[in-house]
Amino acid sequence: MKFLQGFFGFAHGVMALLFIVLSVFLTVLAVQTGIAGIGLEAAESADQAIEAIGLLAIAVVSLQIAQTINEEEVVRDAHISAPTRVRRYLSRFMVVVVVALSIEGLVGIFKALHEEPELLPHAASVLVAAGILMAGWGLFVRFNKEAELLEPEAMEEAKSEDVKLEE
């Protein structure tokens, strides 16, 4: 069993590294896209800037996911079983997802307004989905808080794991 735990830690580390590499790749691509928009007509330059913003948003999400995987699975080596750990882990992940969806929705709306207005409802639906996710996440946190009260020792254990990150 120790071998499997070591393997999973290693696999999570590799995945975090891959997310970092992809984040750097997307950042470079965003910079190239932004630079390509310099000197173009205003509408084309705006389209390039909007595309660069979308790529940077995805790069940030990728980097945040790498950080979450590293901190939760590699550094803390936390096994998600207690309500406190579940809430903390999902909260970190949901922040990344909701922010990314919101940015992508806004980028989609700007693109739709300038290029294809008939796609505006599709872009707006991404923002609606982000809102629904945030509302569902809020409900989850509220209901999970009740479960945490039943296991106060799990909260103390989760707080003690934070020391690993500070070292």
For 18, residues 6+ apart whose C-beta sits below 8 A from its C-beta are: none
Euclidean distance between CA atoms 150 and 152, whole angstroms:
6
Question: Which residue's entry shows tokens 């910079």?
Answer: 31
Q: Token digits for 22?
A: 């992809």
- Residue 18 in this model has a pLDDT that exceeds 90: yes
> Where would I find the H helices in the chain?
2-36, 42-69, 83-114, 120-150, 152-166
Express each pLDDT in 134-154 by its tens digit. Answer: 999 888 888 877 766 766 665
Mean pLDDT estimate for the chain:
81
> Among residues 22, 126, 106, which one has the least CA distance to residue 65?
22
Q: Which residue type occupies 57?
A: A
CB atoms within 10 A of CB 140: 15
Reading the block at residue 104, the tokens are 């992508």
Place of tokens 């989609």: 108
From CA 107, how far away is CA 8, in angstroms rounded?
36
Q: What is the pLDDT of residues 49-72, one digit of tens each?
A: 888 988 898 898 889 888 888 877
